Structure 1
Amino acid sequence: MSVITSDRRTLVVGLGKTGLSCVRYLSAQGRDVAVADSREAPPGLDDLRAGWPDIPVHLGPFDKALFASFNELIVSPGISIAEPAIADAARQGARIRGDIDLFAEAADAPVVAITGSNGKTTVTTLLGEMARAAGRKVEIGGNIGTPALDLLGRGAELYALELSSFQLETTAELNALAATVLNVSDDHLDRYPNKMAYFQAKQRIFRGCQNAIVNLDDALSTPMERDNLRFFCFGFHRVNPNTFSTREDDQGTWLTFGFDSILNAGELKLLGQHNLSNVMAALALGHAAGLPMDAMLSAARKFNGLPHRCEFIRRLKGVDYINDSKGTNVGASVAAIESLVPENEGKLVLIAGGESKGAEFSALAVPVRTCCRAVILIGADAHQIASALGSDVQVHFATTLAEAVKTSGKLALEGDRVLFSPACASFDMFRDYIDRGDQFRDLVRSLGEVS
């Protein structure tokens, strides 16, 4: 990487993996860098001091005067740009950026970018598998795995980035080869003043984009600005040119492209209708990026899905147990409920609850009444969920996840599924959604003998 000297003074706001990657990248360019973090002992601090002992580090409450002394702030996604010290620096002329904005300037291969309230990790990971099956050197990161800046310089032929609204709100122009907003549902309303602000942050993914991938089943997936964009679409029962869709016949459900059937859904290992949508999205993105269809379909057939995302755990006494701990918002859980209700006479026993992040739960009421035999609620906002579900639903409360799992085994009948899809964040009771899902998996595996 060439060294670019600059008189620009840059403050990296927030450490952790992303902040450390920004320090690594900017220092390699010879930039004048300092770091600020509101925590006294942020993750990555020891690595920072070991690797860059001369970089100034400011810990504790943010100082407006300090921030205003820099002409560029690189803000980690976990920190709101509405923070008073950041907003004040912006008013005084500081440029507010994020790691994805830096990445977009330096990207040395085409970028495919994925955002959305739900499904983006599955789609990004599957797209990466499709690219590998096609023999392409692909680097995957962003909001998952490796920070985007650490992907540079590895000889990538294609970048597949999962991006959050927090990352996009500090990205001026991504210039992606292909980009999508998979869907938009209520989420992060503890950070955004309303759903419109959240939606507008997601829409920034299309800035400078060549190919927009649109979910025809979600109007909020469509770019607000359409100039110079080529469109590919996906959606159920939408057979049209340049569209990945579905149709049914006596052999089951088929995925289609244009008017051609390309894959029988029965060949996929993924569970649920929402995962059919994820497969269609990945196919559309890969097609826009020039990946061959045969390689993409082969990768889709082999893809097992990801942990904590409608993950089949076991069957016990005729009941399937499904771990969807990544269902951290209402939209994700609604999709899981509607997709995973058993056929014939079976029902779901839903375990849900946690920290609402300011969301409301009315959208759960109809799918729960339609698909669920009972609901077991845990966590800080259990009673708020119960109130939204109404009196027509059989609701049980549990003080621990272990109690909820035990109760679910008593309520579920043969042919049912126990679905753990919290519709909430995890931090009221668990370290994160991974810890929550791991505990659920262990508890389910400890139940009785496998039938």
Structure 2
Amino acid sequence: MTIDQQNTTNSSASLIQRGDGLQVVVGLGKSGLATVNFLHNLGYKVAVTDGGNPSLASQLPSDVLTKFNGIDSELLSSASRIIISPGIDPFLPVFADVHAKKIAMVSDIQLFCDVCKAKNIPIVAITGSNAKSTVTTLVGEMVKNAGKKVGVGGNLGTPALDLLLEPIEIAVLELSSFQLQTTTNLSAQVATVLNMSPDHLDRHGDMLGYHREKHRIFQGVKSIVVNRDDPLSRPLVADDMPTITFGSNAPDIHQYGIITDSQGDMWLARGRERLLHEKDVPIKGQHNLINVLSALALGESVGLPIDGMLNTIKNFVGLPHRCEFITTKTFDNQHTLDCYDDSKGTNIGSTVAAILGLGKVYQPKGKKLAVILGGQGKGQNFAELAKPLSQFASNIYLIGEDADKIQADLQKGNLLDTVKVIHCQTLQNAVKQGFDDAKAQADLGVLLLSPACASFDQFSGYVERGKVFAQLVV
């Protein structure tokens, strides 16, 4: 069931016209604080409630009403509109009365897009199960290098409403399914679902629910970018919708893809035109070439010059904790182990992309991967990992809360018996096991942290997990 079906999504009233009703912000993280400040500056009466005792409370304006250590149901029932933080499920029992009274419930993204419509600020909207942070950052760099004032944020980095603190000419937003769940008629200049693989099924129920929330990004869209390799990314839109596609195969005219020459080298291409050799792309792996192609398609959709976009790509080294090369360890002056931090790989699709992307680089060198998996599995079925792990890995190190489930799912997925599965419990134990195995296995060339899970069972987030990994391997 969607928020629309409960008739609790945003009212159509413009934010520019201030109302007198109480605005209740639920959740005081970064986006919640940005929302409070935004509404307060517009002259609204604002209250905020949170299930815990948020550390950002000291930064609130003095006249904002607060109810902490539990979401306050009486405050919700008295609201004219509720702005809910993305990490809070809008169908928790505490919101039952809200739905019954048909009180408007929106995201901060809804407020942001209403302002963008009023000010004619075009939005580049990006979602997907994987790679959205990389693509959002790259597109933002492309826009900046084209000489335009750009705001880059949303689910990534700066909360969307804080982007309005400075003049911007174009907004590039990474959007999660949680943010989109309470956003209606985004009306982006261009939007894309980069890819679809199981994620957040514990909240959305099943792939149909997850797919439905992701595809809300296309409501009111003016043009679309589509991944040819992933049918689930294609929206149901009018046949005359301006569309650019990208994919791993050779592209048709005016589309983006990869041309492989007779020597096996890969080229980024638009139609038959070769744009950039793979060696000139700093972020490695076929999956990253596809990410770059999606950024080119998005940039073209908002009129960015191709030469400037290609120069941006040549200087883009990627994001921390996203298949980031950390170091090469050398053992006994002969065996080496390349260590990669993909801690941001918190779902199956992301980990599959990392395994395939690195596996296709190291397999021709006669090297296998050791992959660290585990954490909080978010209701995923890990059987899909069995095939790429069987092809490219020799060792799997399981850590965290759902280690037993991951092993059971891999067995159901017919993981080859030649792949060793070792329960390590902690990241520290997994790294030590990787080092020990690298000394004994000449064909073990990569230690990859790509857990396919959330990290909150053992860490404050994927960033801390990645930093701890980097400290352990250097």
TM bracket (short chain):
over 0.9
Aligned residues: 440
Secondary structure of 1:312's aligned partner: strand
Q: Distance in 1 between matches of 2:99 and 2:132?
A: 31
Q: Distance in 2 between matches of 1:231 and 1:199?
A: 20
Deviations 1:148-181 (A, max 9, x none): 0111141212111111111111111111111111
Give the CA deviation at 1:344. Answer: 3.0
Q: Distance in 2 between matches of 1:259 and 1:440?
A: 42
User: 1:194 is matched with which residue?
Assistant: 206
Question: Contact 1:4–1:30 at 8 Å: present in 2 too?
Answer: no
Secondary structure of 1:367's aligned partner: helix
- Tell me, yes or no, if structure 1 residue 135 matches structure 2 residue 152: no
Q: Distance in 1 between matches of 2:380 and 2:320?
A: 25
Question: What pairs up with 1:87-106 in 2 under 5 angstroms?
Answer: 87-106=96-115
Question: Contact 2:130–2:195 at 8 Å: present in 1 too?
Answer: yes
Q: Give ranges in structure 2 of 5+ residues lacking alignment.
A: 1-14, 331-335
User: 2:337 is matched with which residue?
Assistant: 319
User: 1:80 is matched with which residue?
Assistant: 89
User: 1:436 is matched with which residue?
Assistant: 465
From 363, 383, 387, the counterpart of 1:366: 387
Q: Distance in 2 between matches of 1:376 and 1:85?
A: 40
- Tell me, yes or no, if structure 1 residue 203 matches structure 2 residue 229: no
Letter in 2 for 1:401: L
User: 2:298 is matched with which residue?
Assistant: 285
User: 2:182 is matched with which residue?
Assistant: 170
Q: Distance in 2 between matches of 1:28 and 1:227?
A: 43
User: 2:6 is matched with which residue?
Assistant: none
User: 1:375 is matched with which residue?
Assistant: 396
Q: Distance in 2 between matches of 1:419 and 1:245?
A: 27
Letter in 2 for 1:58: K
Deviations 1:332-355 (A, max 9, x none): 101110110112311111111111
Give the CA deviation at 1:7. Answer: 2.1
Deviations 1:400-419 (A, max 9, x none): 21221111122234561111
Give the CA deviation at 1:217. Answer: 0.7
User: 1:294 is matched with which residue?
Assistant: 307
User: 2:333 is matched with which residue?
Assistant: none
Question: Contact 2:28–2:56 at 8 Å: present in 1 too?
Answer: yes
User: 1:395 is matched with which residue?
Assistant: 421
Give the CA deviation at 1:129. Answer: 1.2
- Alpha-carbon distance change, 86 to 238 in structure 1, aligned in 2, over 3 angstroms: farther
Q: Give ranges in structure 1 of 5+ residues lacking alignment.
A: 446-451
Question: Contact 1:4–1:31 at 8 Å: present in 2 too?
Answer: no
Give the CA deviation at 1:36. Answer: 1.4
Q: Distance in 2 between matches of 1:239 and 1:16?
A: 43
Question: Contact 2:26–2:71 at 8 Å: present in 1 too?
Answer: no
Q: Distance in 2 between matches of 1:418 and 1:335?
A: 15
Give the CA deviation at 1:420. Answer: 1.0
Deviations 1:420-447 (A, max 9, x none): 11111111111111111111111110xx
Question: Contact 1:334–1:364 at 8 Å: present in 2 too?
Answer: yes
User: 1:146 is matched with which residue?
Assistant: 158
Secondary structure of 1:326's aligned partner: coil
Question: Contact 2:154–2:173 at 8 Å: present in 1 too?
Answer: yes
Question: Contact 1:349–1:411 at 8 Å: present in 2 too?
Answer: no
Give the CA deviation at 1:257. Answer: 0.7
- Tell me, yes or no, if structure 1 residue 329 matches structure 2 residue 347: yes
Secondary structure of 1:398's aligned partner: strand
Give the CA deviation at 1:228. Answer: 5.6
Secondary structure of 1:152's aligned partner: helix
Give the CA deviation at 1:4. Answer: 4.5
Question: What pairs up with 1:51-70 in 2 under 5 angstroms?
Answer: 52-70=61-79
Letter in 2 for 1:396: I
Question: Contact 2:181–2:213 at 8 Å: present in 1 too?
Answer: yes
Give the CA deviation at 1:239. Answer: 1.3
User: 2:29 is matched with which residue?
Assistant: 16
Letter in 1 for 2:210: Y
Task: Give aligned-pair identity as a percent.
Answer: 45
